[in-house]
Structure 1
Amino acid sequence: MTAANDLHPEQLRSLLHFYADAGVEWLLEEEAVDRIAEFEAMRVARGTPAQRETAPAQQQARQAPSRQEQPRSAPPAAMPNVAIPDSQAIAEAEFAANSARSLDELRTAMESFNGCNLKTSARCLVFAEGKANPSIMVIGAMPNADDDRDGQPFSGRQGAVLERMLAGIGLARTDLLLTNIVPWRPPGNRPPSQREADICRPFIERQIALAEPNHLLILGNFAARFLLRSQETIHQLRGEWREIEISGRSIPAFATLHPQDLATAPISKRLAWQDLLAFRAGLQG
């Protein structure tokens, strides 16, 4: 077995990134445990009374350190994780978001924010990218592994699919502002929890308010239910224009399927194309 000390720094970094992409967040044990010795002690403890009498002496003899062996110092006590109450984290997010007067200031505020646990496992903050004051703002749910690696939304294969979707109705990525509801990738690409979504709400709403888009294109079930404040599914919410109130401003919003939905169920491409045609007609109307 190859030890970590035998790896080149670049190899070790790649290995840690692989573990992060797989959803590994921490090691279970900081020191090796002799499971064989533990099993032997349990077997002796469940043996005959004579064995129980001799077992402590034998175990003591096995565990007694030699005179040359230095006693092992106890490992330092782990620092307890201090959880921030949900209400406090949301209040801090609201204060940080409302204090920003530009998208650059908002990005700085989000980089300094530590109230969301997703930040501890993500490689980086995935902030909005594209045109600063766009006519159209595209909003997804959360960064995936490609986004987290590249530091930009809709990267990799899903980004390529989205670009083809937009090109079909005459739109280019450079003309839009792309972002996600949650700016940090959840471990293992799991859906964000309700607590995580509530903490991130002030940031995405402030992004929309500062960008001042004329239209919103919402991608996927999570983002549609979140922004439209609905319990209906994406198949019930898609294909229709709705209004969203952000900072006292009403913005037309249109929900459709996420590129990941098309990869999972290719038959949905027909529905997405119908939605995109309806979205383009609404822009021209």
Structure 2
Amino acid sequence: MLHNPTDINALSRFYLDAGVDETIGDDPVNRFNLPSQKSATTPNNASAMRPADQAQNKKTEAIKSSAVTSLAEGIREAETIAKSCKTVDELRRALETFEYCSLKKLASHTVFAEGNAQSSLMIVDRQPSGDEDRSGRPFSGLAGELLEKMLAAIEIDRSDVYLASAIPWRPPGERVLTDEERALCLPFALRHIALVQPDFILACGEAAGYLLNQKSGVNKLRGIWRDLQIGSVRTKMLPIFHPTFLIDQPALKKYAWSDLLSLKSAMKEEQ
């Protein structure tokens, strides 16, 4: 037995480090002669549960209920705020003060838009990358440089078009967006398009499926014109591979070139 207080303290710390934080009793327990586990833990016999377990279950259910309510309230708030914005500047300010999306808390900047809002062409980016989070501009870094070259190939200058980000905040570690994050940001993205009213949208990468509210990847969507209806505003949208993807997969640039020619032809016919 341990009689030295130092030894007892050392043993206590060992138990705590091992996760032992509760004392049961001094009497030994015959584990081979315990009451039926089923009768002790069955959901239909709540009185058999320890008060601490019942309290923990209630707490867990409360947290789940609170999370669902919070998300539903957040989406309703996003829709209400977005619809109330009458100008692009109002929408930008609304996003910068929107607190329901957790992405904002870890982002360096709110990536909104830049360029000519009166242009007939709106190019929509996916969620911000590290470059875009640092600069606060859509299509920054190498992706932006490639986009400029792609546009120049069909005689369009970057400064003549309107560039916007579908998601205003960078996910930590550039992870995949959750359904909740997508749902909270979508009302702002759709309202943005409705306010700008472009004749054509070039949707890059995941932005295409996001705006269409579809799970389909850009591999299935690219190259096919879609009608995007937002309230009374109707525009034509062409999904295309994202410039970042094309940097990693240069062999697919031929498909992007085909899509750019389709865009050029459509814009020429509209003139």
Quick one: which amino acid aligns to residue 82 of structure 2?
A
Alignment of 1:231-270 (within 5 A): 231-270=215-254
Q: In 2, are the aligned partners of 1:134 and 1:212 still within 8 Å (CA)? A: no
Sequence identity percentage: 39
Q: TM-score, normalised by structure 2?
A: 0.75
Residues 57 and 235 of structure 1, relative CA distance in 2, 3 Å threshold: closer
Q: How far did residue 257 of structure 1 move?
A: 0.3
Q: In 1, are the aligned partners of 2:142 and 2:244 still within 8 Å (CA)? A: no
Q: What do the CA deviations read for 1:138-194 (whole angstroms, capped 9, x no partner)? A: 002111111111111111111101111111111111111111211000001112111
Residues 205 and 54 of structure 1, relative CA distance in 2, 3 Å threshold: same
Q: Does 1:126 align with 2:111?
A: yes
Q: What do the CA deviations read for 1:60-86 (whole angstroms, capped 9, x no partner)? A: 4999xxxxxxxxxxxxxxxxx985721
Q: How far did residue 57 of structure 1 move?
A: 3.8
Could you say which structure has the larger radius of gyration?
A: 2
Q: Does 1:114 align with 2:63?
A: no
Q: Which one of the candidate residues 161, 173, 183 is aligned to 1:198?
A: 183
Structure 2 counterpart of 1:147: 132
Residues 60 and 163 of structure 1, relative CA distance in 2, 3 Å threshold: same
Unaligned runs of 5+ in 2: 13-62
Q: In 2, are the aligned partners of 1:93 and 1:200 still within 8 Å (CA)? A: yes
Q: What do the CA deviations read for 1:196-247 (whole angstroms, capped 9, x no partner)? A: 0110011001111111111111011x21111223333212211121100012
- Alignment RMSD, CA only? 2.0
Alignment of 1:1-285 (within 5 A): 50=1, 53-54=2-3, 56-60=5-9, 85-220=70-205, 222-285=206-269
Matched residues, number: 216
Quick one: which amino acid aligns to residue 240 of structure 2?
T
- 1: CA distance between counterparts of 2:9 and 2:193? 68
- 2: CA distance between counterparts of 1:55 and 1:107? 68
- 2: CA distance between counterparts of 1:61 and 1:254? 68
SS state of the match for residue 85, structure 1? Answer: helix
- Structure 1's consecutive aligned runs of 4 or more residues displaced over 2 angstroms after TM superposition are 54-63, 81-84, 228-233
Q: TM-score, normalised by structure 1?
A: 0.71
Unaligned runs of 5+ in 1: 1-49, 64-80
